[in-house]
Homo-oligomer: A and B are copies of this chain.
Amino acid sequence: MTETAKPRRAQILDSASRLFSERGYHATSMRDLAGDLGMQGGSLYAHISGKEELLIEIVNVASRQFDEALFTLRDTDLPADEKLREAMHRHIRVVADNMDSATVFFHEWKHLSPEAYARVTGWRDSIDAFYRELITRGISEGTFRADLDPRMTAYLVLSAVNWAYTWYRPGGPLTPGDVADSFADMLLGGLRSEIGSTA
Q: How many residues on the A side are at the interface (Cβ–Cβ under 8 A)?
A: 47
Q: Given the interface contacts A187-B191, A191-B148, A192-B189, does A27 sit within 8 Å of B160 by beta carbon?
A: no
> Complex Cα distance A196/B81, Å?
11
- Interface stretch, picked from A33-41, A43-51, A66-74, A178-186, is A178-186
> Complex Cα distance A192/B164, Å?
23
* Chain B positions within 8 Å of A156 at CB level: 160, 183, 186-187
- Please give the count of copies of this chain that the complex contains: 2
A53 contacts the other chain (CB 8 A): no
* Chain B positions within 8 Å of A143 at CB level: 192-193, 196
**Chief secondary structure at chain A's binding surface:** helix
A142 contacts the other chain (CB 8 A): yes
> Complex Cα distance A33/B167, Å?
32
A24 contacts the other chain (CB 8 A): yes
> Complex Cα distance A191/B185, Å?
10
- Within the complex, the shortest CB–CB distance from A171 to chain B, in Å, comes to 17
